[in-house]
Structure 1
Amino acid sequence: MTTMLHLGLGSFHRAHQAVYLHQLRESGDQRWALAGGNIRPDMQDTIDALIAQGGAYTLETVTPHNERSYTRITAIQTVVPFDPELCGLVRIGADADTRIISFTVTEAGYYLDAKYQLDQNFADLRADLAAVKSGEPVSTIYGALCVILRARMQANAGPVTLLNCDNLRHNGERSRGGLLQFIELLGDSALLAWVQANTTSPNAMVDRITPRPTPEVRARVLATTGVDDAAALMGESFIQWVIEDNFIAGRPEWEKVGVEMVTSVQAYEEAKIRLLNATHSCIAWAGTLVGYTYIHEGTLDPVIRQLAYDYVTDDTIPVLLPCPINLEKYRDVVLDRFGNPAIADTNQRVAMDAFSKIPAMIAPTIRDRLARGETIHSVSMLPALFLAYLQRWHAGQIPYTYQDQAMDPAAAHAICESVDPVAAYCANTVLWGPLANDERLVQAMRTAFERVKLFVKNHQS
């Protein structure tokens, strides 16, 4: 049996990639199976449950009309317990029968700056460079891949595809660039040459809303199926996977179960990142500011929905045309998906990691508009919402823990303490890169920030 090894057995992987392979196996094609585990000691309860259940778990699927269905997913044949040396993952990754190594990482987990170069200011990245050299445990995706690929090279196990399953734009190219830079910094010329010759890194676009599992999901699964599943999870009915067909060592016939295998994913990923991901964050920040807990609450609020609609319609769609996708229809489908109360997706989950999301998902539209000499009236509302959100965080008034791997807390507090927070915000190079201090950005943000303050005031009155 041929193996696809996945690093990061989180909810999204189990509601997305594993589902496609499960469907292929259910159709009778059982040539491929999943193995997986985590590179950090997190989600231990879920990993323990998956091990106890032989990798199987129940997926609850919910339509926008609150229709629920339940599927036992059995594609993960091997669950690897966590160990600091990643021995189990290295053993499978170095096996000749493993032909794909896939991974799900947040945008911030690639440690790339605005020019997509490795940013060595991150302590985790510096620590992993030292750890790989000394044989100590690693914690980043680059460290894990280096350890696995070095073992594979030494075992002469043959070529392998490195497959991204996350929201980083041009994710195959950019994660590959980060990995090759990491290996160069290690000074391992043999590994560098081997990776360049024996791996490919397809770009891919993934999409399915998958909230963090709650006890209620487990209770519904038990009531409906009779199975008490500690690894149960829930996802929306919409699912999409678009992959550049660039596999060096073979792949499953995913196209038989609805995966779109293409020569270029660029149009799909731009539409998804700008129309879906950025809109998602807009609704999460706005919803938090006015006291909502869930994404659907903000989406069904007519003022917040209009903010999201205007961002897409006024400023984003025009810079993406011409496009093979019907962007107006895509926009409307996205808003309908976000308005699904049955998903109960939280603002906390979606609001996180703004210091990597703004440069990846929002700043490109601002750059495109300014390059065309056009206004940024609607798109500037999104970073203005986050500035208001950041000020709440600074004051300790966010009703949940805000997580942001790319944020320097001291720099964020300094923005909020500045005599001119808007100017300080627009000067932050992590957020804005070459746009930092651009007077057109500053002026648009001043106007947008006043609009945000009025929006919050009107909701409170």
Structure 2
Amino acid sequence: MVQLHLGLGSFHRAHQAVYLQQLIDLGDTRWSISGANLRPDMADVLAALQSQGGAYTLETVTPEGVYSYQRIASIREVLPYQKDLAAVIARGADAATRIISFTVTEAGYYLDAKDKLDRTFSDLANDIERASNGVAGETIYGALCAILRARRAADAGPVTLLNCDNLRHNGDRFRKGLLEFIGLIGDAALLAWIEVHTSCPNAMVDRITPRPPPELRERVRQATGRDDLAPVTGESFIQWVIEDRFIAGRPAWEHVGAQLVDSVQPYEEAKIRLLNATHSCIAWAGTLIGLQFIHEGTHTPAIRKMAYDYVTDDVIPVLGSPGAPNPVDLPAYRDVVLDRFGNPAIRDTNQRVAMDGFSKIPGFIVPTIRERLARNESIDSVAMLPALFLAFLQRWHKGEVPYTYQDQSMDPVVAHAICEAADPVAAFCADRPLWGPLAGDARLVDAMRRATARVQDFVATATSA
């Protein structure tokens, strides 16, 4: 049986492929992975994987600096990129394929604050037109539309569509987007088939996986004797929590450490707010004072205090309140997260983590602000995160960010206008895509003004030392 995975980047190869490899190592060889990309990027990596039969080396390192190396061979097929996605569609339409999984950035779902498709994005609008004409697209919706059309035509049976990314409630929200997409192209028969023949479990994934540095290949060669053309590196920590709603079977991942649960929500909220938001906080703050790596910021006392206070003062009280008991030990998780971020061997860059702020603010940070305000409680600690991003954005506006900033959800015209406004804090807080119903809220604006002053003091102190 086959799991088709869309997105053969480092994260999938350091995470889901590892779980299946561990299962294979236990003697369960019933499943394999077929991998592909939907866009013509990573051509060198795909070629390298193809030349190695899909196998590669995973390097992991503990916070204490202990390195380990593992050969991963669970990806048995690497599909070539083709603009018409012919090979991907054929694999997805094969009855042996029981799971189609994918790793997409938050912005890659093109969802607005109400979880409706935002058709102002040209990629999405183009894919709607392509799909209406029976042509495969480049977005996750356009690709899966073509795959599922072919699967229905082949009578290949049901299939699970599995998100492997950081979008909150990812399975439910992706399903809404997919069904809306199919509705927009007017394919009623496909819509009815998807309703009956697919499931979309919510899932939470976690492992810090930086871009492979140039020296990784030599480290792997020295440690293993293999000249690996496509190695990946990551931290030793790994976690995968999945709702057990698979319509066509699944690997026995629970035998190798994955958590199969009824609801992923408490794990997801803890991870997104304690880990993902904190990660962004450290990346934005570190960039502002000239640091390159996440571990450098984590070991900077002022930055670590911002991250610690954000979680302790504002996140733990709303996630761990008496009325909402949490299966996650939140204070312990906070401390583990900061230890992981401080791992100097990972060398995760601020550039990688700082990206996509215009989707991370509403996705990772606004829920805590909204819940604190609903309880008439202070948001001074959590307000530091968007204040850091605003300061970061102002640097970007001036061309002073020392790397290329990537943000799929950002409208550069809007971003520049915020920075050029007479009152950038008010303009930033008035942006509805960022804040939703909180846009313009006086309590938000006041907290952001205080936080902005603290950010300015932090930068001035750090850069004058």
**Which whole-Å deviations, capped at 9, do the CAs of 1:216-269 have from their partners, x for residues lacking one?**
111100111111111001010000000000000000000000000000000000
Root-mean-square deviation (CA), in Å? 0.6
Residue equivalent to 2:253:
254
**Aligned counterparts of 2:192 and 2:359: Cα–Cα separation in 1:** 30
Q: Aligned AA for 1:359? A: P
**1:294 and 2:308 are equivalent in the alignment:** no
Deviation at 1:136, TM superposition (A): 3.6
Residue in 1 that maps onto 2:333: 330
Give the Cα–Cα distance (whole angstroms) in 1 for the partners of residues 457 and 113 of structure 2.
32
Matches of 1:327 and 1:223, distance apart in 2? 39
Q: Distance in 2 between matches of 1:400 and 1:229?
A: 28
Residue 320 of structure 1 is matched in structure 2 by 319
Cα distance per residue 1:387-414 (max 9 Å; x no partner):
0000000000000000000000000000
Q: Which residue of 1 aligns with 2:170?
A: 171
CA distance in 1, matches of 2:365, 2:378: 14
SS in 2 for 1:5: strand
Letter in 2 for 1:238: F
Whole-Å Cα distance in 1 between the matches of residues 295 and 177 of structure 2? 36
Q: Where do 4+ consecutive residues of structure 1 move more than 4 Å?
A: none
- Amino acid in the other structure paired with 2:91: I
1:106 counterpart = 2:109: no
**Following the alignment from structure 2 to structure 1, what is the Cα–Cα distance between the partners of residues 396 and 135?**
36
Inter-partner Cα distance in structure 1 for 2:455 and 2:428 = 15
Question: Hey, what does 1:42 align to over in structure 2?
Answer: 41
Deviations 1:332-383 (A, max 9, x none): 0000000000000000000000000110000000000000010100000000
Q: Is the 8 A contact 2:136 2:145 kept in 1?
A: no
Q: Deviations over 1:283-324 (max 9, x none)?
A: 000000000000000000000000000000000100001211
Asked if 1:23 is matched to 2:22, the reply is yes
Equivalent residue of 2:234, what SS?
strand
How do residues 435-446 of structure 1 correspond to structure 2 at under 5 angstroms? 435-446=438-449
Structure 1 unaligned regions, length at least 5: none
AA aligned to 2:402 is P
Cα distance in 1 for residues equivalent to 2:327 and 2:234: 27
Q: Distance in 2 between matches of 1:412 and 1:266?
A: 32
Contact 2:57 2:70 in 1 (8 A): yes
2:34 aligned counterpart, secondary structure: strand
Correspondence list, 1:233-244, <5 A: 233-244=232-243
Q: Contact 2:368/2:382 (CA < 8 Å) preserved in 1?
A: yes
Question: In the aligned structure 2, how far is the partner of 1:430 from the partner of 1:225?
Answer: 49
Report the AA paired with residue 55 of structure 1.
Answer: G
Say whether residues 1:218 and 2:240 are aligned partners: no
- Name the aligned partner's letter for residue 408 of structure 1: D
- Counterpart CA distance in 2 for 1:434 and 1:111 is 19
Are positions 1:447 and 2:450 aligned together?
yes
Q: Does 1:407 align with 2:406?
A: no
In structure 2, distance between residues paired with 1:324 and 1:240: 15
Matching residue's letter, 1:105: V
Is 1:353 matched up with 2:352?
A: no
2:132–2:186 contact (8 Å) kept in structure 1: no
> Offset of 1:430 from its aligned partner?
1.3
Matches within 5 A, 1:1-80: 2-80=1-79
Normalising by structure 1, report the TM-score. 0.99
1-structure distance, mates of 2:215, 2:336: 27
The offset of 1:137, in angstroms, is 4.5
Amino acid across the alignment from 1:343: I
Question: What CA distance in whole angstroms lies between the structure 2 residues aligned with 1:144 and 1:392?
Answer: 37
Q: Which residue of 2 aligns with 1:416?
A: 419
Residue aligned with 1:374, SS:
coil
Q: Which runs of 5+ in 2 are unaligned?
A: none
Distance 1:366 1:244 in 2: 27
Amino acid across the alignment from 1:387:
L
Instruction: Name the amino acid aligned to 2:156.
Output: A
- 2:215 is paired with a residue whose SS is helix
Instruction: Output the amino acid matched with 2:236.
Output: S
Q: How does 1:145-224 map to 2 (within 5 A)?
A: 145-224=144-223
**How much identity, in percent, do the aligned residues show?**
69
1:432 to 432, 435, 442: 435
Could you say what secondary structure the match of 2:57 adopts?
strand
